[in-house]
Amino acid sequence: YRGFGVSVQGIIIYRAAFFGFYDTAKGMLPDPKAAGIIVSWLIAQTVTTISGIISYPFDTVRRRMMMQSGRKSGEIMY
């Protein structure tokens, strides 16, 4: 379907940002294995929000491409 390539790119960006930020944040803790569940949860929520913001433009492009899948080639805007 239209927008599949952009969707895959967005997923890659999201997951890369998530794991990169999460591992970096956990690595900044003095003892990551001893971090409580609240600290781990806060880090995960923050990282999820940031990753979503970073990958949002790809989602917008994907949705617009999918919405235009039934149009003729001369009517396609994106």
25-49: pLDDT as tens digits: 999 999 988 889 999 999 999 999 9
- Residue 19 covered by a domain: yes
Euclidean distance between CA atoms 65 and 59, whole angstroms: 10
- Residue 73 covered by a domain: no
* Number of domains forming the structure of the chain: 1
DSSP 23-42: HHHHHTSS-GGG--HHHHHH
Q: What is the mean pLDDT of residues 14-29?
A: 95
- Residue 62 covered by a domain: yes
pLDDT at 78: 66
* pLDDT interval class at 76 (50, 70, 90): confident
- Residue 77 covered by a domain: no
pTM of the model: 0.81
- Residue 12 covered by a domain: yes
Furthest-apart CA pair in the chain: how many Å? 59
- Which ranges in 1-78 belong to alpha helices (H)? 4-27, 37-67
